[in-house]
Amino acid sequence: MAALKPLESPELPFVNEVRLRPQHWAVAAGVVLLVVTLTPWVWKKLERFAIGPDYRIPYALSKDYWLYEQRLQRASPTNIVLLGDSVVWGEYVLADGTWSHFLNQETGVPNRFVNAGVNGLFPLALEGLVRCYGGSLRHQKVILHCNLLWLTSPKADLSTDKEESFNHAALVPQFSPRIPCYRADASERLNALVERNVPFLEWVSHLQNAYFGQQSIPKWTLAEAGGDPPRYPNAYRNPFSQITLTVPAEPADDPQRGPLSPRHKPWSTNATGTTQFEWVALDQSLQWHAFQRVLEVLRQRDNDVLVVLGPFNEHLMARENLPAYRKIHEEIVAWLAQNQIPHWIPEPLPSVLYADASHPLTEGYQLLAKRLFDDRVFQNWISPK
């Protein structure tokens, strides 16, 4: 009797898949939406964000706009917020040498004045910061600093046709008004717009800034440490070990700032300078128009705004350059008066109290705060109505 042959089963491909029905897709989408929505909110509850005396956003976190938004949200109705660029932030000084510190000292009320300056900011970027991350800034007293440094040339104004790189590009208007020197492609511009409006993406950016050296996790993993052959110290490290749930603080002894820093010195020991600025007319200035829009947004939110114009370092300018500067200065003062905007025009500080064209040194901020506090316009503005 012949042996029976084993049955040969047809070869079937092995398919490792799960097919979801419409209701399953709906559940999956709901779970993803829930995670994306709740994660930033839960993170704010878990992460330790200490705001001590004279707090300012650390230099290394200047582009952490999610953190900046949290800082403003913690301001109380009795706080007075100082808004502006690195002059408000304090480029050459420590946290206890800033304008807000000395104003608090003058009033005798700790932490009444909030340092809401950001290093590297300018009006076109400040507009995006206020619109997208300053929503909590309402029904508040705000000191808005107007720095004429941004009108000293078409390059500073960002109105030059030559391509330029600059800080806080994600905050500037991406499509309108057009910025001639900004040449980002469409995907970069769209990405900037989406990130401004999606809290989850803002949170992801916060993680990168606070814990991964302003890099994405893949870039952080592949970061080189130099040497030959190059070393990759993060290649085998656990990325989650970087997340300490504590926002990094500003270093107590910053070697780049403060009286002991080699940068903390007068721009010159001379009484006069020779610098020539290529001043941009107000009606053609992108930065000035952006400043006007910032002021409009703040007032629409029922903020009581006091504009401080300068003090710009007139000592470093050549004499023949002063008339153009003073013309622009007078036009801004006239516009503020015409629009009934409270403003204070400080006198230039002594030459030795400037570090450069617009940044005071520690004693300069102290004198500026004293002059502002003693001024009748400021006293009328700060008094309860």
Encode the chain (385 residues) as per-residue pLDDT tens digits.
555 555 555 565 666 667 778 887 888 888 888 888 888 899 999 999 999 889 999 999 999 999 999 999 999 999 999 999 999 999 999 999 999 999 999 999 888 999 999 999 999 999 999 999 999 999 999 999 999 999 999 999 999 999 999 999 999 999 999 999 999 999 999 999 999 999 999 999 999 999 998 898 889 998 888 777 888 888 888 998 999 999 999 988 899 999 999 999 999 865 568 899 999 999 999 999 999 999 999 999 999 999 999 999 999 999 999 999 999 999 999 999 999 999 999 999 999 999 999 999 999 999 999 999 999 999 999 987 6
**How many CB atoms lie under 10 A from the CB of residue 146?**
24
Helix (H, G, I), strand (E, B) or coil at 13: coil
How far, in Å, CA of 20 to CA of 269, rounded?
Answer: 76
Position 154 in a domain: yes
CA-to-CA distance for 383 and 306, rounded, in angstroms? 13
Dist CA 103 CA 88 (whole Å): 12
Q: Does residue 259 contact residue 301 with C-beta atoms inside 8 Å?
A: no
The total number of structural domains that make up the chain: 1
pTM: 0.91
Report residue 67: phi and psi, to 5°.
-70, -40
Instruction: Look at residue 236 in the predicted model and tell me its pLDDT.
Output: 87
From 46, 87, 35, select the one nearest 70 (Cα to Cα). 46
Structure tokens at 50: 């200490």
d(CA 178, CA 326): 28
Range of the structural domain that residue 373 is part of:
45-178+255-382
Structure tokens at 313: 């370092």
Instruction: Look up residue 347 and give its DSSP letter.
Output: P
Q: Provide the 8-state DSSP code for 112.
A: -
In one-letter notation, the amino acid at residue 206 is H
> What CA–CA distances, in Å, run from 15 to 18, 19, 276, 322, 324?
9, 11, 73, 78, 76
Instruction: Measure the CA–CA gap between 34 and 36, rounded to whole angstroms.
Output: 6
Token representation of residue 57: 């956003």
Q: Is residue 215 part of a domain?
A: no
Provide Rg for the chain, Cα atoms. 26
9 in any annotated domain? no
The set of long-range contacts for 99-102, using a CB threshold of 8 Å and a minimum separation of 24, is 99/360, 99/365, 99/368, 99/369, 100/54, 100/56, 101/54, 101/365, 102/365, 102/366, 102/368, 102/369, 102/370
For residue 171, being part of any structural domain is answered with yes
Return the ∠ at Cα 322 (arms to 82 and 369), rounded to 5°. Answer: 25
- Beta carbons of 265 and 92 less than 8 angstroms apart: no
What is residue 6's predicted lDDT score, i.e. its pLDDT?
Answer: 58
Q: Helices (H) and strands (E) in the chain — how many of each?
A: 13, 5
Establish if 239 belongs to a structural domain. no
Q: Please check whether residue 266 lies inside any domain of the structure.
A: yes
Torsion of the alpha carbons at 190, 192, 193 and 195, rounded to the nearest 10: 120
Token pair listed for 189: 């511009």
Upstream peptide bond of 22 is cis (omega within 30 degrees of 0):
no
The answer as to whether 12 is a domain residue is: no
Q: Which CATH number goes with the domain that contains 302?
A: 3.40.50.1110
Task: Decide if 147 contacts 89 (C-beta within 8 A).
Answer: no
Burial of 16 (0-12, 13-18, 19+ CB in 10 A): exposed
The reported pLDDT for the residue numbered 36 is 84
**Do the domain assignments include residue 66?**
yes
- Which two tokens mark 380? 């009328």
